[in-house]
Chain A
């Protein structure tokens, strides 16, 4: 994955570049809005990580300019303004995801990978992970041919996990994408939903598909 990080705080930027390289991605750095825009226009990037407040050209303006030029590289906005309406503003300006500071690297990584993947994948009607199948049209879920009955929300939870099969999905990503809530529910309610889902799809099978990734979130994958 090729990333462009547009961030004016040198420490934060260096940390991000290093961290992304450690997990095997290519990360370039731009330290102000104008430089970032020039890089983003020239280079072939999979995802842009854009700080909202930048010298010379504001982060939202960078994304707005790119979109007006027809460049649709997915952009993730980093911002110290974490409130709901700021987030809405960011997404309206053409951002694809919004992460308030301070963030954990595992959260940023998971979201960046989800954005990069989203760009590549086309929407399939049937998701398959191992012997687990989810039909998005008939809303049917089967494992090894046997039907599993899910509540509507459980279905959407599984659908999101399977769409990002092989990728780490964080709790906040689930809360945002499955429940459409952007607040912190204090207690980890998501864990309970996951364990319910797990008991429905993994119970009685030797090979678990739904995994907990410590310190990050969850991942559905065929471990064979």
Chain B
């Protein structure tokens, strides 16, 4: 497609054409209306003048007979710019006036007629048009009075010329303007197309140009840019996941394989084979768990888990998770307390938020009970402004401020935690769940210990009454 062809096919140019047609039609109509009205006005003036003259001349005739009429008509005919006069006998023989030749039959008519004529003083000149009226005088004389229509015709020509010119100007300006606007738009759209092509070729960092005028194209571009931002983040996440999978799933897989090979090589009796098989199953179970956790995180991060969301109460979740883990904490000599006195309504997925909180409590029990005798874990759920905070506070050794950002990443396990069982995905999942619900996971110092907080937006603006909750 040629550049011109492309230009002509744009929406902007087609719109220009439509507008142009509409404007041209409107201008033509306006001009025609104006011309018609003016013409009517001129005709009216002519008829009035002619009528007045006829009345005057008829009066002259009545007072002085044909002689006086001929005299007056003669005198009037000689004045420059005069009307047309002709006085004839009954037989049509001219007595006075300034009309040289007339179309035949005119004298036989009565009332208003438009006719071609030649003036007496200019018999070889061009034919003119006139509006004439024939008046029957007593005794068979006829009086013809008329006005040249040249004025009217000149006006007609002027209007026509004006119409032609303005139409030409409208079209030229319109088409030129259309080209200009279209080219500007096309240039920007082309720039966008170019960028999107680059992005499609794999350069996800590309962004659409924004002119800064805040018009609809800018809005479109900034929306598309926001979308690209999201896509890039998702792609980065995906890449991260695949890197993680490559690294952290291959390691246990290798271990698994080694164990099988070792069993084949070394085992001597059934019990040794059995032991090897059992540990293989155990190892594969751990792998499945890691795999499930990764899938869950990926789903939460991609926003796919939005289906199962409903109105839920964070206080209920805190109590439920607290109740699930209380015996385990107790077993380890940690006192687990739930503080969730009032309803904390939010819109979300009960399973996912429960699991996120369970991960935090699980971590607190694993790492927060290290400090000895009167270790305590406090699980709280409460509203704070338009946020719902689900927090787990322990009195353990905490996480140094420098590491807090890092531990949320997948598979990151700090040195001191490597001795404990775990996949290194607990906090990642909690963080992904928080983000899925439009919130965030925060790690704070509990002086001493760690306080992990899932901050989520409160549901609606009207909290449900506490007695409505189970």
Contacts and interface: CB of A to CB of B under 8 A. Distances in A.
Contacts of B352: 84
A39 interface: no
B355 to A, nearest CB: 4
Interface string B325-359: 10110110000000000000000010110110011
Contact of B307 (A85, A182, A183, A192): A85
A206 interface: no
A185 interface: yes
Contact of B351 (A153, A183, A215): A183
Interface in B272-299: 278, 281, 284-285, 288-289, 292-293, 295-296, 299
B130 interface: no
Contacts of A84: 305, 308, 349, 351-352
Contacts of A10: none
Specify the main secondary structure of chain A where it touches its partner.
loop
Contacts of A102: 284, 288
A83 B366 contact: no
A83 B330 CA distance: 31
B422 interface: yes
A119 interface: no
A125 interface: no
Nearest to A102: B288
B331 A192 contact: yes
A181 interface: yes
A185 B351 contact: no
B460 interface: no
Nearest to B351: A84
Interface string A173-204: 00000010111111101001100100000000
A186 B351 contact: no
Nearest to A190: B324
Which of A102, A192, A193 has the most C-beta atoms of chain B within 10 angstroms of its own C-beta? Answer: A192
Contact of B328 (A104, A181, A189): A189
A181 B299 contact: no
Contacts of A183: 296, 351, 354-355, 358
A189 B327 contact: yes
Contacts of A104: 281, 285
Contacts of A215: 278
A186 B288 contact: no
A157 B131 CA distance: 116
A153 B327 CA distance: 12
A88 interface: yes
A208 interface: no
Given A84-B349, A85-B307, A189 B323 contact: no
Interface in A79-127: 82-85, 88, 100, 102, 104
Interface string B297-332: 001000001011000000000001001110110110
Between A84, A102, A179, A186, the greatest number of chain B beta carbons within 10 A of the residue's beta carbon is seen for A186
Contacts of A184: 289, 292-293
Interface residues of A, number: 22
Interface in B426-444: 426
B362 interface: yes
B327 A193 contact: yes
Nearest to B420: A187
B391 interface: no
Nearest to B306: A85
B308 to A, nearest CB: 5
B324 A186 contact: no
A196 B355 CA distance: 23
B393 interface: no
A179 B362 contact: no
A118 to B, nearest CB: 23
Interface string A155-174: 00000000000000000000
A187 B364 CA distance: 12
B107 interface: no
A177 to B, nearest CB: 14
Contacts of B328: 187, 189, 192
A178 to B, nearest CB: 10
Contacts of A193: 324, 327
B134 interface: no
B292 A186 contact: no
A107 to B, nearest CB: 11
Contact of A83 (B284, B296, B324): B296
Contacts of B359: 186
Contact of B358 (A82, A85, A153, A185): A185
Interface string B456-469: 00000000000000
A82 B292 contact: yes
Contacts of B293: 184
Lowest 3 CB-CB distances: which A-B pairs, in order?
A: A183-B355, A192-B327, A85-B307
15 contacts: A82-B295, A83-B295, A83-B299, A83-B305, A84-B349, A104-B285, A179-B320, A181-B355, A183-B355, A184-B289, A187-B328, A187-B362, A187-B365, A192-B328, A193-B324
Interface of B: 278, 281, 284-285, 288-289, 292-293, 295-296, 299, 305, 307-308, 320, 323-325, 327-328, 330-331, 349, 351-352, 354-355, 358-359, 362, 365-366, 421-423, 426
Given A181-B320, A189-B324, A192-B330, 6 more contacts: A83-B295, A102-B284, A104-B285, A181-B358, A187-B362, A193-B327
